[in-house]
Amino acid sequence: MSQAAPSDDALDLWADAPSPCVDVCKYKRQGRCIGCSMTKEEKQAFPRSGSGEAKKAFIEGLMERLAGSTRNPAFWVMSYRRKCEMEGVGCPIREEG
């Protein structure tokens, strides 16, 4: 069965999503940040991907990368939710389970 398209409200939430950077910015692990797992190039490219669909795909790919590594993505999710709250924007990352 195919998945339903996201609603306009959901895409608006993604479009307003801040960068996945959680302000750790220490590059190790093949040039990836230990806080968010992005490279410097990915961090610079994120703000230009302003559509909700593009940001959603970017962040979902980042979460898959975190899950596939030896790191627990829950720590990044917690930090990202806190960042969204501090910036006064809705967090597009939903609670698990």
Give pLDDT tens digits for 43-56.
Answer: 888 876 678 899 99
What is the structure's pLDDT at 21? Answer: 93
- pTM over the 0.85 mark: no
User: What is the pLDDT confidence band of residue 34, given thresholds at 50, 70 and 90?
Assistant: confident
Euclidean distance between the first and the last CA atom of the chain, given in angstroms as a whole number: 22
Residue 33: strand, helix, or coil: strand
Neighbours of 89 (CB within 10 A): 13
CB 32 within 8 A of CB 38: yes
- Residue 64 phi, psi dihedral angles, 5° rounding: -65, -40
Q: How far apart are CA 45 and CA 41, in angstroms?
A: 6
